[in-house]
Amino acid sequence: MENKSLVNQILHNQKVTEYGYDGYGIVRINNNYPILVENALKDEIVDVQVIQQNAKFALGKVVTQHVKSEKRIDVANKELVYSYNAPLIIISYEDQLKFKTQVIKSMFAREFNFYDVADCKESKKQFHYRNKLTLHVQQDEKEIKIGFFVRNTHIILEQKNYDLVNEELDKIVKIVVAFLKANATQIRNWKLYSIVFKYSDKTNETLVIFDSYNKLKTENEIAQIIKQAIGNEKANLIFHVINHKTGKVVEQKIYGQEKITFKIGKYKYLVNYDSFFQVNDDQAKAIFDFILKKNEFKGNELVIDAYAGVGTIGLYIAKNVKHVVSVENIHNATENAKLNAKLNKISNFKALTMDSTRYFDTFVDKENVGIVIFDPPRAGLNTIIIRKVIEKKIDRIIYLSCNPHTLVRDLKAFLNGDYHIKLVQPFDMFPQTQHIETLCILERNKDQK
């Protein structure tokens, strides 16, 4: 098949045969060649326009829908649907949970012959659960566009409502977007390209980060107007000028504070603008409580919390173990973790600013580690970390993953290193989206000690 032969073509009356892990409907043509189709469900008959293509698969979008799945539901927020950033929004929440459960069960059955995967635990909120939002900005001589990138593109689709974020944050986002669009001429030379919003509903604090390639001459005036428009004394703004080539911050101006306070359960967490924090507070609490319940800590364990962010998980379990070492490579996040330990009056906690790979390669041999917690980015772990954990013969691994594919890859290496899977529990951290948070607990085989 010629890779270029299908792009922009419309394929008529195609049947969707599967619903894939990433929330695509799958149409198969020409000897089983898959086309991953946005906004398409199994058993629907559609006309598909091919957008991109390579040797392994193509991407497409529905031009015309001829037969609709009985599982499809009507969604009022069409802009969110057609941004394809929430692909599961077109099916019921019950079906979303079934879909996510089946994804993880199928992977573990196929890869490990492991069949004891629990059903995906539902989120307390199916909408308005996010405490963070990123909007992209494009501007020319005629207009400014502010919204989401359509999935797999750099095309911005503006949004009328932000149904996945906290209701109060939704209001704040609309205020800021409306102001910027009303003053598009005044800010044209600013070259603003991204806005990040963070909001804590427990403390009513807001942090808005503007990333641009030029300094805004009227920055002070604009900042005060936006703060006043938001109408919240706890609104904090940060203006960054970014080097276009390096992507690094070359100038920063803070109006208010550079960090805000979140709460999970009884614990408070100071979080800087560049520090990672779970986007769904309620589900994070459910996961952390589950970790405490299922691990039955005895109080004598030394725990390494790798990719620790602001110390979220480590601090949550610290009072149940002997000592926690928090390892994180972002300096501000580590400083947050140290402050959070003091804020929560936790003394058996140490935070290190260090790449997790370097820590495991250089320092882990000096500690009598019983348990390691991994909450890595989507890329998962690297081979050095996995090898050192195996060599160190750490008794238990608590692995919280946002990417089932890299989780499976890493688990294969651990299982080859004399570990076994004790527990697999998916959580719906991101309702309406294809993303799945999976908690996996591994233990060393006792006969290998």
| Catalytic residue positions, numbered | 402
- Give start and end residues of each alpha helix (H) in 14-146: 78-83, 93-112
Tokens of 87: 């692909």
- Among 362, 437, 442, smallest CA distance to 396 is for 442
Which secondary-structure segment (H or E) carries 63?
Answer: strand 58-67
How far is the C-alpha of 282 from the C-alpha of 265, rounded, in Å?
9
- Give start and end residues of each alpha helix (H) in 318-355: 331-343
Question: Is residue 447 marked as binding?
Answer: no
Residues 6+ apart with CB under 8 A from 406: 376, 378, 379, 380, 381
Amino acid, single-letter form, for residue 241: V
Question: Is residue 391 marked as binding?
Answer: no
Question: Is residue 9 marked as binding?
Answer: no
Question: Is residue 419 marked as binding?
Answer: no
Give ∠ CA 302-303-309 in degrees, rounded to 5. Answer: 145
Q: Where are the beta strands (DSSP E) in 106-234?
A: 132-139, 144-149, 156-158, 192-200, 205-212
Q: Where are the beta strands (DSSP E) in 286-387?
A: 302-306, 323-328, 349-353, 371-374
Q: Which residues are annotated as a binding site?
A: 278, 307, 328, 375
Q: Which residues are annotated as a binding site for S-adenosyl-L-methionine?
A: 278, 307, 328, 375
